[in-house]
Amino acid sequence: MLIVIVMISLLSIVAIPRFAVANGKRHMQSAKMRVAAAAATARAAAIQKGMPVRFMIKSNRVTVIAAAKDTITLISPVPLDTLYGVRVTSGITDSLVVNFSSRGFAALDAGTTIMLKRNGVPADSVVITKTGMVQQ
């Protein structure tokens, strides 16, 4: 019985750090997919509704709103730091705003790279091109 307990404890010592790393990678991938989906939703909504739509990241929260006379929230703020433990960086001081025209083009001079960081996991990014396409 003692040998079984020792074997289980040794297996758990090896498995727990691997589980933590895998969990961190999964959270990073989920946050990346959430940001990419929100940007794609903003572009699609702009084309579908025929009005400007704004994709915003402010204080690690992703939001999509229709920027018409009456502001309509299309995606409520999603806290990336609370849900996934991920921070948004890449030269963004506190906020990033990408306006999509009614034709789905992003109002950018060049593509915007959104860097996502989480402790213990390699950084990842999402790119929004000036044509409004989202690249993961």
Instruction: Average the pLDDT over each of 17-21, 114-118, 126-130 and give the range with the smallest value.
Output: 17-21
Please check the confidence at residue 25 and state whether its pLDDT lies above 70. Answer: yes
The reported pTM is 0.82
What is the Cα–Cα distance from 107 to 96, expressed in whole angstroms? 12
Are the beta carbons of 64 and 53 closer than 8 angstroms? Answer: yes
Contacts of 98 (CB under 8 A, 6+ apart): 39, 42, 54, 55, 56, 106, 107, 108, 112, 128
What is the Cα–Cα distance from 94 to 59, expressed in whole angstroms? 6
- Domains of the chain (ranges; CATH) run 22-135 (3.55.40.10)
The rounded percent of the chain whose pLDDT value lies above 90 is 9
